[in-house]
Structure 1
Amino acid sequence: MIVQYGAGGGVDTVIRAACGVLERILGSRFVVINMPGAVGSLASAEVFRRPADGYTLLGAGDYSKSHRVLGLSTTVPWKDWQYYKLAGSIPAWSVRYDSPYKTIADVVEDALARPGKVRVSTSGIGGAWHEATLIGLGPTGAEFTYVPYSGGAEAALAGLRGDVEVIASGVHEVVQFLRADQLRTLAVFSQRPIEVPGVRQPLRTLAESLPGVAVGGLDYPMVLGFKRDVDPSILKKLEVALQDAVADPDFTRVLHERVIFPDFLSGAEADREAAYYESLTAWTFWEHQLPGVRVDPSALGIPRPENFEQWWPPTGYRPAIP
C-alpha cells in the first residue's frame, strides 16, 4: 500500500486503519509505505508503473483529481484507476488559541488590507485544503500566501509553531489540538455546525462565520485505488472485503475519534464521483488561475461542473467491476 501523504495525516490514518482490518478479512499482510510529494502524484506514478497483478494499491485522497490539470499525470481518475471510497472528511480553518484572529471574517479583513501577507499552511498547492479555500473564500477577493507541507499533519504543526497564521486542513488533522485548547477552529466548510466530543468550542460553518459567503458541504474522500486493468475478479474481491471493513467496529472507532465519516463507494458509483470531483477541481483551479495549472481542462475533455450531468457517462465508458 503506497500512501500519497506523510505519516500521521488523515489519509494515512484511514488507510492504515483499513489495512489493519483487511489483513484480518483477507488473511494477507499489508506493507504500508508513505510516499508524499507533488500533491500525491509521486505515489500515484509509483503504483501505476508497477505490474497490474493485484499486489500494489494506492492510498489516496480526492481520487488524485488535480493531477491532470496540474500537469503532474496523464492518467484519468475514472478511466485508468478503480477507486474505492472509504470515508470523507470536512475542511476547516484553524489558528493558534492565542491568535488575534477571533473569526474568519477577521482573517479576510486582514488579507484584504494586506494582500498576500497572511500565510496559510496546506497539504500542498493544489491539494484538498487549498481547493476548499478557493471554493469557500475565493468570492471574498482576499489574497493569501499558501505554504505547502507534505501532509495535513505537518501543516497543522506549522500553525501550532507559529510558522503560519492560519491552518487550512481537515477537522481530523487538528482535533487533538482543539481538545487540548492549543488551536481554535474559525470555520468548518460544511452545511451544519459540527459537534466534536471533547472540544468545548463550537465549530461554526463558514456561512455563520462569514455572512454573505455560502458554501455547501465539501466532502473530501479518502480512497484506495487499483490500476483499472487489474483482473476484475481481484477488483471484486477487494470490493467485497472493503464493504465489511468499512462497517467493522475497529475501523469506525478510528474514524469517530478523528471526526471522519465512513462512506463506502465502489464500481460505477466511485467512477462517477471521481469524474465529478475532477471536473469541479480542474475548473476551480483554472478559473482562479492557480499557479502551476498547466493544462486547460477543456483540452483534456473535462466537462464543466454545470454540464457534468449531461456528459456522464462519457461515450465508451464501461464499469471495471462486474
Structure 2
Amino acid sequence: MSTRILLAAALGLATAPAFAQAPAWPDRPIRIVVPYGPGGGVDSFTRPVAAQLQAQLGQSVVVDNRAGAGGTIGVLNAARAPADGYTLLSGGVHQPMAEALYPQRGYRIDADFVPVAITAVVPNVLVVNPASGLTDLRTLMDRARATPDSLTYCSSGSGTSQHIIAEMFLRETGLRMLHVPYRGTAPAMNDLLAGVCPMMFDGMGTSAPQIQGQRLRPIALTVSRRSALFPDIPTMSEAGGPAIDAGTWYALWAPAGIPVPILARLRAEVRAALASPAVQRVWQQQGAEPSSVGEDRLETYVREETSRWSGLVTSLGLRAE
C-alpha cells in the first residue's frame, strides 16, 4: 500500500470523530421564552408556532413563561442563554416599548438579539363591556369630558402596550381617565368581562374571540386602516377620535451570535410554520395578518421601532412602576 493511501486513511480516521461530534441542529428540545404570563397576546401567538415547529423539527419545542417587570425578566433570561439555537425569545412591539421604561433592564433588544421573524401583525382595538353603556366612541368621549377621572381603563400592567396606547389616546383627546394596571392580560380581561372595569385598549389577538362571542363591544381600532378580518370596526379617526396608528406586531428572536447556518434554518422553519394551514387558521381567528417586513429588513425594522417607541414613551412621561 502506498504512503499516500496510508496517509489519506489516517487523515480520514482522525477527522471522522470531529464530524461525529457536530450533530445537526436540532438534536434536543428547543425553549421559547415568553416574557409574559399565559393567556396574553404574546403567549397566544407563540403556542401555535411552537406546536407547528415541533411537528416540523421532530423535537420538543417548549414554551417557557417568565413574566415580571414589564417583560424584562424573561427577555434578560433569554439574552443570557447560549446562542446555539436552543433558546428563542417570543415578544413583539412590547420589547421596543420597554427600552425607555426600564433603563436598567440589562440588555438591548436591537443589540443582544437577532430577529428571526415577525410572526403576526394585529390592530389594537378599544373594547368595552356591553353593560357599560358605552355604545360608541363619541359617547365614551362625552362621558369622559363631562366627568374627568370617572371612567377607568384596565391594562396588562404599567408600561405595557395597552397602557401606552391608552395614554396616546388621552394625550390626543385631552381627556382624563384612571388607569387600573393588572399583572397580565388574562386577569385584566377577566375583570373587563366581569364589568369590574369598563374598557381596555387591547390587542386583537386576545379580544377577537370576545368580540366574535359578543362578550365585548369593539369601539374603534387604533390603526390607520380597517381590518380585513373585522371590516365593520371603524378606525379611531372614522369613529370621531384622533388619528392614531398604533398596532401590535409579534416576533421571534434568537440571542445574538447564533451561528449563521442555524439562523438560516430557523428562519426557513418559522417561515414554513407561519404558512401552514394550522397556524393560518388560528391567525385568522385572532384577527392577525402576515407581516410585510422582509427578512433583509428585520434588524432595521426593530431598530426603527425601538427608536420610535422609546421617543413616544419619553414624550408621554411614562415610568415603570
TM-score scaled by structure 2?
A: 0.82
3-state SS of the aligned residue for 2:87? coil
Aligned with 2:244 (options 204, 208, 215): 215
Aligned with 2:87 (options 36, 45, 56): 56
Preserved CA contact (<8 Å) 1:89 1:171: yes
Q: Could you say which residue in structure 2 is the equivalent of 1:306?
A: none
What amino acid maps onto 1:57 in structure 2?
L
**In structure 2, C-alpha distance between the alignment counterparts of 1:232 and 1:4, rounded to whole Å:** 25
> Measured at CA, do residues 267 and 150 of structure 1 come closer, stay the same or move farther in structure 2, by a change above 3 Å?
farther
Per-residue CA distance 1:145-195 (angstroms, 9 max, x = gap): 222233333322221112212112112212222222221011111223336
Aligned with 2:53 (options 22, 29, 40): 22
Per-residue CA distance 1:215-249 (angstroms, 9 max, x = gap): 23x33111111111222222121111111111111
**In structure 1, C-alpha distance between the alignment counterparts of 2:217 and 2:249, rounded to whole Å:** 24
**In structure 1, C-alpha distance between the alignment counterparts of 2:254 and 2:294, rounded to whole Å:** 11
Preserved CA contact (<8 Å) 2:192 2:199: yes
3-state SS of the aligned residue for 2:100? coil
What amino acid maps onto 2:307 in structure 1?
S
Q: Could you say which residue in structure 2 is the equivalent of 1:298?
A: none
Q: Could you say which residue in structure 2 is the equivalent of 1:103?
A: 136
3-state SS of the aligned residue for 1:68? helix
Q: Could you say which residue in structure 2 is the equivalent of 1:289?
A: 317
State whether structure 2 residue 271 is matched by structure 1 residue 243: yes
Preserved CA contact (<8 Å) 2:40 2:185: yes
Q: Could you say which residue in structure 2 is the equivalent of 1:225?
A: 253
3-state SS of the aligned residue for 2:97? coil
How much identity, in percent, do the aligned residues show? 25
Aligned with 1:127 (options 160, 166, 185): 160
TM-superposed CA distance for 1:268, in Å, is 4.4
Q: Provide the aligned C-alpha RMSD in A.
A: 2.2
Q: Could you say which residue in structure 1 is the equivalent of 2:109?
A: 77
TM-superposed CA distance for 1:136, in Å, is 3.8
3-state SS of the aligned residue for 1:124? coil
State whether structure 2 residue 237 is matched by structure 1 residue 204: no
Task: Tell me which moved more, 117-126 or 79-88.
Answer: 117-126
Preserved CA contact (<8 Å) 2:128 2:216: yes
3-state SS of the aligned residue for 1:67? helix
Paired residues in the alignment total: 288
TM-score scaled by structure 1?
A: 0.82
State whether structure 2 residue 216 is matched by structure 1 residue 183: yes
Per-residue CA distance 1:84-135 (angstroms, 9 max, x = gap): 2111111011111121211223323333343333211112222122222233
**In structure 2, C-alpha distance between the alignment counterparts of 1:126 and 1:63, rounded to whole Å:** 9
TM-superposed CA distance for 1:63, in Å, is 5.9
3-state SS of the aligned residue for 2:254? strand
Preserved CA contact (<8 Å) 2:120 2:249: yes
Aligned with 1:160 (options 168, 193, 198): 193
State whether structure 2 residue 306 is matched by structure 1 residue 278: yes
> Measured at CA, do residues 87 and 109 of structure 1 come closer, stay the same or move farther in structure 2, by a change above 3 Å?
same
Task: Tell me which moved more, 60-69 or 245-254.
Answer: 60-69
> Measured at CA, do residues 135 and 273 of structure 1 come closer, stay the same or move farther in structure 2, by a change above 3 Å?
farther
TM-superposed CA distance for 1:270, in Å, is 1.5
**In structure 1, C-alpha distance between the alignment counterparts of 2:305 and 2:77, rounded to whole Å:** 22
3-state SS of the aligned residue for 2:250? strand
1:291-306 mapped onto 2 (5 Å cutoff):
291-292=319-320
Preserved CA contact (<8 Å) 1:116 1:145: yes
Preserved CA contact (<8 Å) 2:122 2:249: yes
Preserved CA contact (<8 Å) 1:195 1:203: no
Which runs of no fewer than 5 residues in structure 1 stay unpaired?
294-322
TM-superposed CA distance for 1:205, in Å, is 1.1
What amino acid maps onto 1:122 in structure 2?
S
3-state SS of the aligned residue for 2:132? coil
**In structure 1, C-alpha distance between the alignment counterparts of 2:302 and 2:276, rounded to whole Å:** 25
Preserved CA contact (<8 Å) 1:95 1:185: yes
Preserved CA contact (<8 Å) 2:79 2:112: no
3-state SS of the aligned residue for 1:226? strand
State whether structure 2 residue 176 is matched by structure 1 residue 143: yes
